[in-house]
Amino acid sequence: MTLLVVATGNPGKLREMQAYLADSGWELTLKPEELEIEETGDTFAANACLKASQVALATGNWAIADDSGLQVDALNGTPGVYSARYGKTDSERIARLLNALGDEVHRGAQFVCAVAMARPDGAIALQSEGVCRGEILHTPRGHGGFGYDPIFYVQEMQLTFAEMTPELKRRVSHRGKAFTSLLQQIEKVRNYEL
């Protein structure tokens, strides 16, 4: 198996990526703890590429990174790339978003996930993106997931992300779609690498 460094210090994200890439032939590991990458890009794709490239260069291994967030139509795409920094806790972020929306009738939104994979020399080998459309509820529903999941409602499923089983969420979510797209390309990279 070829080592693939995940550009995160979050063991939960490592487990999630391991689930998506279980049969891909790559051995995933966390980036070194002391290696911090500042997300300075103005798009999800730019941040994913930045993290993957810098981790690959620093470790001399293949690296993978993702960046994702919520874009609310009525708020001109806010919180966007600042989704994780929109408050200190999940409940603060949700409260701030609901307050910003107020009584807005048009509550369309989308979760976006960009994934990038870099060669050991830092060159980006693969990129993919997934989008899941939904709407923002007035009050949270469900107890699963994390972040904005309790207020993000997917019409086709009649559920919030927080109400979905992990398997269903993986299938319909922005991250699931991004990794499905990536998996369709990853074999080409393995063949190049070997």
Is 73 marked active-site? Answer: no
Of 192, 179, 188, which is closest to residue 28 (Cα–Cα)? 179
CA quadruple 79, 83, 88, 90: dihedral sign: positive
Would you call 181 helix, strand, or coil by DSSP?
helix
Overall size of the chain counted in residues = 194
Neighbouring-strand partners of residue 28: 4
Taking CA 110 as the corner, what is the angle to CA 67 and CA 155, rounded to the nearest 5 degrees?
A: 135
Task: Give the C-alpha separation, 154 to 110, whole Å.
Answer: 10
- Residue from 23, 42, 66, 67 carrying the catalytic annotation: 67
Residues with a catalytic annotation lie at: 67
